[in-house]
Amino acid sequence: MKEKVEKTVSAKTAVAPVKAAAKKAAVVKSAAKKATAAKKSTAKKEAAAQKPAEEFSVFVTEMDQYLFGQGVHYDIYKKLGAHKTVKDGKEGIYFAVWAPKAVQVFVIGSFNEWNETSHPMTRLDPVGIHELFVPEAKIGDMYKFLIHTEKGTKLYKADPFANQAEFRPGTASIVADLTDLKWTDGAWMKKQETFVPDESPIAIYEVHPGSWMKHPHGPNEDGFYNYRLFAERCAEYCKKMGYTHVELMGIAEHPFDGSWGYQVTGYYAPTSRYGTPQDFAYMVNHFHKNGIGVILDWVPAHFPKDAHGLAEFDGACEYEYADTRKGEHPEWGTKVFDFSKSEVKNFLIGNALYWIEDFHIDGLRVDAVASILYLDYGRRDGQWVPNKYGGNKNLEAIEFFKHLNSVVRGKHHGVMMIAEESTAWPGVTARPEDDGLGFSEKWNMGWMHDFLDYMKLDPYFRKFNHNKMTFAMTYAYSEKYILVLSHDEVVHLKCSMINKMPGIYEDKFANLKAGYTFMIGHPGKKLLFMGQDFAQFREWSEERELDWYLLAEPIHQQLQNFVEDLLHLYRSNKALYELDTDPAGFEWINPDDADRSIFSFLRHSKDEKNNMLFVINFTPMARPDYRVGVVKKKQYRLVLNSDDVRYGGNGSERPVTYKAEDGECDGKPYSFAYDLPAYGVAVFKF
């Protein structure tokens, strides 16, 4: 037995090394297999990394030229400009520029010590693109295009498609790399695919980043905040206040601060005033992570005559109309884009998509739409050319807008395309297939002018101008509107919002609270310019920051508290936004109480479960016996009361709920009484 056990143990002992060796061999084989696979995978990845450089081909092809010439190459910006790539095994930068009238084009820059003859570009026909691969160039290099014109002159032009520009007063372009932008806003972007602006709360905070707040220890003498720090501060403020979106002025590169960004020289470059393209991407990403949408001012109407810009780019009128009666704005001293050229339209449509696709922008506010649509805009007789039918409509611009909005909104359903259009042009927000321009929203300039005219009046005279506040409801559903109190209304001797208000010091604040409440209750999305939510006294200037110190004064803090609560009330009640474009969403209680200058109206929700009643007194006369008519015999809960001490009121105790009683009032079958203070505001939910 002992022998048997010993034999068994001996056998096991003998087999063990064999098994171990086999096991080891298997492990080694498996490891070798994995190593080979990993090696292949790495090689594959490396090949893939090399492949896009040469095969994705930033290089311009015949098909690229054809599509660009047809005006439908919507990502042409990935070909023209300056792009990092590999050619014949060498890393470098590929430059390409559209300059059809140029005799010869050279690339000059820091990579060749601005040598004007060392790097001639090759012309590609038929559209007149010039190209050159420069192995010596790299990310971060400054450059320009030196253009020899048919007139024998030399032009030193910045790249129209550059993604970065030199900080002013420098005018060179900078080679940038947008392939390393970091995004963590996937959830936001997914939600935006199904975003329906018509039925959503939209409260926009219009901001000029360079003057919102100055950095005491900024990197330059202007005290500009970097995009990153600005995003952190501004997103925090927007969340606190209840804004849903931020609309940024002056983001595309521009040479002159005083233009506020409305005279652009670098359409594809976030301004270097606040940092790099990577910093800009961080800003957008940060706003999105905090639930704030980002809208940019976009200027397809005109551009400045600065020597390094688009004006007479190749020695001829390349981007602008050649006829000065169409190609220049006499009042503004700027050039007008030539909407008859496919390549120019492509430049602009591609630019809109660039901001939306490459930088995750949620909407574009399109500036000065009327100036594009009307051939005689800002021009006297003899200064403009009629269209082929003898009229004043720019038929080419109409086609451009239809094309632009069809492409942008067709590809990105949740993106807002907002028209700043100041006339009664029909169908601005109608679909192109219904002969509309295809915008998603339009600024309601008519409402703004009537509202401000009324608010400026001494209360005694308001009863004679009562219709200024009611007239907008006669056309409220003709377009999809945004009610705006923008930067244009608080500059150049127009006074800030608080200084537009009549009356003694305290009355101004009470007036403004009443006005803002009327705005929130009125159908339409909302926009308010920075500083007006805490009653800045001084007019806005791009040269200084907002007067934040005013918030140390209780009366300014109280107004800000009121706007904050008003915005949160707006966002949390569907009745105030989901039927903005449907007449079923609004009902006057009494639009005709001119003698007392009191407005009362209802906002309805789709389910009729959470409706809102507004009562607003625009005089300094208290109405302790005020009775308001209502349509339902319900309980009405007071949800906003301007007499609250948080808003600077006297804090008088009053009931929270009011029971409607039988008895006609304001043409309604029921009513209840409410103690309405001077300039009093009351909002009820039922």
3-state SS track over 333-396: CEEEECCCCHHHHHHHHHHHHHHHHHHCCCEEEECCHHHHHECCCCCCCCCCCCCCCCCCECHH
Span 43-57, average pLDDT? 44
Q: pLDDT (tens digit, 9 = 90+) per residue, 570-616?
A: 999 999 999 999 999 999 999 999 999 999 999 999 999 899 999 99
- What is the share, in percent, of the chain residues with pLDDT greater than 70? 92
DSSP state of 8: H
Least confident of 495-509, 556-570, 582-596, 647-661: 647-661
Q: pLDDT (tens digit, 9 = 90+) per residue, 127-181?
A: 999 999 999 999 999 999 999 999 999 999 999 999 999 999 999 999 999 999 9
Q: How far apart are CA 349 and CA 353, in angstroms?
A: 6
The backbone region for 378, taken as left when phi is positive above 0, alpha when psi lies in -120 to 50, beta otherwise, is left
Mean pLDDT across the chain: 92
pLDDT at 404 over 70: yes
User: Which has the closest alpha carbon to 620: 450, 466, 451, 458?
Assistant: 458
DSSP state of 629: E
pLDDT at 46 over 70: no
The topology (CATH level 3) of 62-174 is Immunoglobulin-like (2.60.40)
Chain Cα centroid distance, residue 468 = 30
pLDDT at 209 over 60: yes
Q: pLDDT (tens digit, 9 = 90+) per residue, 299-310?
A: 999 999 999 999
Banded model confidence at residue 56, pLDDT cuts 50, 70, 90: low
Banded model confidence at residue 40, pLDDT cuts 50, 70, 90: very low
Banded model confidence at residue 33, pLDDT cuts 50, 70, 90: very low
Q: pLDDT (tens digit, 9 = 90+) per residue, 243-263?
A: 999 999 999 999 999 999 999
pLDDT at 582: 97
Paired tokens of 607? 């389910």
The topology (CATH level 3) of 583-685 is Immunoglobulin-like (2.60.40)
Least confident of 49-63, 282-296, 525-539, 609-623: 49-63
User: Which has the closest alpha carbon to 315: 531, 439, 155, 178?
Assistant: 155
Catalytic residues: 367, 420
User: Which has the closest alpha carbon to 440: 261, 580, 288?
Assistant: 580
Span 414-431, average pLDDT? 97
DSSP state of 254: -
Q: How far apart are CA 196 and CA 413, in angstroms?
A: 8
| 126 upstream amide cis, omega within 30 of 0 | yes
Q: pLDDT (tens digit, 9 = 90+) per residue, 283-295?
A: 999 999 999 999 9
What is this structure's pTM? 0.90
Host H or E run for residue 131: strand 129-134
pLDDT at 275 over 90: yes
Banded model confidence at residue 36, pLDDT cuts 50, 70, 90: very low
Taking 3-state DSSP, the helix, strand and coil percentages for the chain, each rounded to the nearest 5, stand at 35, 20, 40
Banded model confidence at residue 651, pLDDT cuts 50, 70, 90: confident
The backbone region for 52, taken as left when phi is positive above 0, alpha when psi lies in -120 to 50, beta otherwise, is alpha
The backbone region for 57, taken as left when phi is positive above 0, alpha when psi lies in -120 to 50, beta otherwise, is left
pLDDT at 17: 35
pLDDT at 6 over 90: no
CA dihedral 451, 453, 459, 463 (to 10 degrees): -80
Least confident of 328-332, 354-358, 571-575: 328-332
